[in-house]
Amino acid sequence: MLSLGSNIRYGAARLQKYTWPFTLLVALGGLWVPRLGLLVIAIMLTLMVMSFLRGRYWCGNICSHGSLFDHVLGRFSKQRNIPKFLKSPYMIWGFFAFFGYNITRRIIAVAQLWGTSQFWDRLGLIFVVSYLMVMVVGGALAVFIRPRTWCTFCPMGTMEKLSYKLGQLLGVTKRTDLQVTILDQEKCRACGKCAKACPMELSPHLGFTESHQFSSENCIRCGECVEACPFQLLTIAKTPA
């Protein structure tokens, strides 16, 4: 029987299958209607709040880019191992700094147009171009390597991890977080099928804590490992009280 946490996860997973058109709407439609890019600001605020409470839950259950990579482009993926350098701290933090710098300088330049009719269009276009870049680069990586390659160094994912650490520091996540949980660790045969199914190339069976949860900050709570476990030992649940 699935726990409440699992019910939440599977409902969200069904939702994510249909969120990918939002990426096309902003990345392509925004080239003609730049103000569509302003929707990304709301998305960023939402995912920051959600990550404060539940880590990278947004990435594995709602993200429209993730939906595009998994459910559309994933059908054509080469399913190769993600190169180690793309998962290295140098790549993650270096790209985060590069991406943040470029977004910031463009916003500062557009800020000079405040009060004019062009301001909102130019501001929206910044996020449209960013969404288009992620779609093109992340899409290419999804096809030629594996669907969630972009997610290993995604700047938004890095921001989510920082927000999650703050939530942990303040003790908020103890009441709100959902993590991969093993129901009976003694029955685990360490077959590694959960690791093979993980789109982020994590190894849940090697990282369960004393509370029987997989607490990796890189886990996107997608539940692929839950479905892959041949012994039905995994679920997505809150931290035990």
Q: Averaged over 4-15, what is the pLDDT? A: 53
Q: 141 with 81: CB under 8 angstroms?
A: no
Domain hosting 183: range is 177-238
Are residue 224 and residue 118 in the same domain, yes or no?
A: no
- Condensed to tens digits (0 to 9), the pLDDT of residues 23-65 reads 999 999 999 999 999 999 999 999 999 999 999 999 999 999 9
Q: 219 with 181: CB under 8 angstroms?
A: no
> If residue 191 lies in a helix (H) or strand (E), which one and from where to where?
none
Q: Averaged over 204-226, what is the pLDDT? A: 92
Residue 118 confidence (pLDDT) above 60: yes
- Angstrom distance (rounded) from CA 153 to CA 99: 11
Are residue 103 and residue 23 in the same domain, yes or no?
A: yes
Are residue 157 and residue 194 in the same domain, yes or no?
A: no
- Condensed to tens digits (0 to 9), the pLDDT of residues 63-103 reads 999 999 999 999 999 999 999 999 999 999 999 999 999 99
Residue 136 confidence (pLDDT) above 50: yes
Q: Residue 205: what pLDDT?
A: 93
Q: Residue 6: what pLDDT?
A: 47
Q: Residue 7: what pLDDT?
A: 45
- Angstrom distance (rounded) from CA 237 to CA 241: 11
Residue 56's nearest CA partner among 16, 90, 22, 88 is: 16
Which range, of 8-12, 105-109, 145-149, 150-154, averages the lowest pLDDT? 8-12
- Condensed to tens digits (0 to 9), the pLDDT of residues 148-171 reads 999 999 999 999 999 999 999 999
Q: Which residues pair with 180 in a beta bridge?
A: 214, 236
- Angstrom distance (rounded) from CA 53 to CA 56: 9
The type of residue at 149 is: T
DSSP secondary structure of 25-71: HHHTGGGTSGGGGGHHHHHHHHHHHHHHHHTTHHHHHT-HHHHIIII
Q: 139 with 73: CB under 8 angstroms?
A: yes
Our CA angle for 83, 152, 48, nearest 5°, is 170
Three-state DSSP class for 213? Answer: strand
Do the domain assignments include residue 168?
Answer: no
Are residue 52 and residue 106 in the same domain, yes or no?
A: yes
Are residue 158 and residue 191 in the same domain, yes or no?
A: no
Residue 59's nearest CA partner among 176, 164, 173, 165 is: 164
Are residue 40 and residue 132 in the same domain, yes or no?
A: yes
- Angstrom distance (rounded) from CA 2 to CA 8: 10
CATH number of the domain encompassing residue 217? 3.30.70.20
HSE, side-chain direction, 13 A CA sphere, residue 71 = 20
Q: Averaged over 133-140, what is the pLDDT? A: 98
Are residue 128 and residue 182 in the same domain, yes or no?
A: no
Are residue 21 and residue 44 in the same domain, yes or no?
A: yes
